[in-house]
Amino acid sequence: MDNTDRMLLMEIEGGIPLSDHPYREIGRRTGIPESEVIRRLQILRTQGVIRRFRARIDQRKAGITANALVAWDVHQADVSSLGARVAEFPGVTHCYRRRPVPGRWDYELYTVHHSRRREDLCNEVAEIAADTGIDTYLVLFSGAEYKRSPTGSLRNRKEQE
Amino acid sequence: MKQFPDPVDLKVLDLLQEEFPLIPSPWDALGGRLGLPGSEVLSRVRDLQSRGIIRSISPILETGKIGLRYSTLVAMQVPACDIPRVVTIINEYPQVSHNYQREHDYNVWFTLSTRDEDECVRLVGEIIAKTGLPDEKVLNLVTLDRYKVDVRFRFDGDEQHG
């Protein structure tokens, strides 16, 4: 990734312009020809710097109002195989292993779920519990959203440097 | 006035959560898959974005490849009346990407990504100090492994919709 790539990503990380030819428009803003904009983005995607290129949705505004983080206490079982198994469930959007805080917080596996109704979400979680045998877990429904921005923001990193 | 979002909007939302085409006329390509003119796809996307359902169409960067290799989830027990102050402190950090209220004694949960462990320890320590919360009201849940990150919402064919 060179400086031109970085400039390009910073230009579009907040979203591509909703114009007839978005890459031409990005080219106009950055002084890079449209074909070069496309070529560079394709390479970044191939290299995996761009993990995905897609719409970011505000699911709450689209009616998906039951959103929860679920913390699972796996009792020192084989966490990575359980994690891989839990991640397979289609309703799981994130699955992480996190370092517990011994004696205060033993939950080590975390999943994120989204649904239109709390009841559906709870059923999905209960199904995972039944399937994996993890019977100690906590469903943490989210309330207010205080902040949500792309995790790997180059613009933000620039500010840090 | 048409129902919003209508069934075609839902198809557009599903399709836009797959890979956005890297070609000169992406809207035409998407239209081709939906049986619509590209201009109609674009106008629906503009409408969905103006209503806030689409936040943006943008690349998700692989954090490890841009130097953010360390991350954590921090949970705090904050008295309800003190939440606005604490949230303001947390959100000032550009390294904080998500911050939510959750229904639990630990009621404020935020994620933080940094270059390395040292930076993470320093920033979490700094945030806790600024909030004035005692350590026992805070959980620092460092990320050890990532098994899945695939945020995608299915809209079409969801009979519960509406």
Q: What pLDDT, in 10s, does the model give residues A63-108?
A: 899 999 999 999 877 999 999 999 999 899 999 999 999 999 999 9
Determine whether the interchain pair B61/A21 forms a contact, defined as Cβ–Cβ distance below 8 Å: no
Closest chain A residue to B39, measured at CA = A20
Check residue B35 and report its DSSP letter: T
Task: State how far the Cα of B22 lies from the Cα of A41, in Å rounded to an integer.
Answer: 7
Check if B67 contacts A (Cβ < 8 Å): yes
Q: Centre a 10 Å sphere on the Cβ of residue A5 and count the other Cβ atoms it contains.
A: 16
pLDDT one-digit tens code per residue, B71-125: 999 999 999 999 999 999 999 999 999 999 999 999 999 999 999 999 999 999 9
* ipTM for this model: 0.89
Query: What is the rounded distance in angstroms from the CA atom of residue B139 to the CA atom of residue B75?
Result: 5
Nearest chain A CA: its distance from B30 CA (Å)? 12
CB-CB under 8 Å, A63 with B109 = no
Task: Determine contact: B77 vs chain A, CB below 8 A.
Answer: no
Confidence of residue B161 (pLDDT cuts 50, 70, 90): very low
CA distance B78 to A2: 43
Q: Tell me the sheet residues that pair with B59.
A: A53
Residue B89: count other Cβ atoms within 10 Å of its Cβ.
16
Best mutation target, A35, A40, A47, A53, to test chain B (most B CBs within 10 A): A53
pLDDT digits (tens, 9 = 90+) for B12-69: 999 999 999 999 999 999 999 999 999 999 999 999 999 999 999 999 998 888 888 8
When pLDDT is cut at 50, 70 and 90, the band that residue B160 belongs to is: very low
Q: What pLDDT score was predicted for residue B2?
A: 66
